[in-house]
């Protein structure tokens, strides 16, 4: 069972990436970093994503862990492309990062997270940023 995490160069995304890497190391599972791109043929985007992931993992203390980057091109629906990629990669768990919110914000979940929770066929582990 691989552990998947959607790559996002945001504080929430970096926190989720480090947490997913720690889980993958602890459970001896493969870490799949999922990235949705505008153009699948752009190798510059892939190299930039690889560099950013390596930097985040190194900064998070899990720089030596192995991981694989999986990319998919979107055609206007980034979340739909991510959901398809999660289904195709064979992951058994998805780690998603969210920012801390007010009680009302917790009630009204982010649309992206809502779609992931409702449409992904694997368990979703939601990780909040540390305070």
Instruction: Give pLDDT, residue 63.
Output: 85
**Domain residue ranges in the chain:** 10-128
Tell me the whole-structure pTM to 2 decimals. 0.87
Instruction: Give pLDDT, residue 37.
Output: 84
Looking at 28-71, list the stretches that DSSP marks H as alpha helix, in order from N- to C-terminal side.
Answer: 43-59
Instruction: Give pLDDT, residue 103.
Output: 59
Taking only the tens place, the pLDDT of each residue in 28-39 is 999 999 998 877
**CATH H-level, domain 10-128: superfamily:** HUPs (3.40.50.620)
CA atoms within 13 A on the CB side of 100: 3
Instruction: Give pLDDT, residue 23.
Output: 95
Q: Please, is 102 exposed, middle or buried when counting C-beta atoms within 10 Å of its C-beta (0-12, 13-18, 19+)?
A: exposed
Low-confidence ranges of the chain (pLDDT < 50): none
């Amino acid at each position: 069972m691989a552990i998947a995490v959607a790559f996002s160069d945001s504080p929430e995304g970096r926190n989720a990436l480090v947490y997913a890497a720690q889980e993958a190391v602890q459970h001896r599972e493969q870490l799949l970093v999922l990235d949705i791109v505008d153009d699948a043929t752009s190798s510059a985007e892939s190299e930039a994503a690889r560099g950013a992931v390596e930097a985040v993992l190194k900064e998070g203390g899990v720089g030596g862990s192995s991981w694989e980057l999986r990319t998919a091109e979107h055609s206007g629906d980034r979340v739909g492309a991510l959901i398809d990629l999660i289904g195709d990669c064979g992951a058994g768990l998805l780690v998603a990062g969210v920012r801390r919110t007010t009680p009302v914000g917790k009630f009204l979940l982010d649309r992206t997270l809502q779609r992931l929770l409702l449409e992904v066929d694997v368990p979703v582990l939601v990780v909040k940023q540390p305070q």
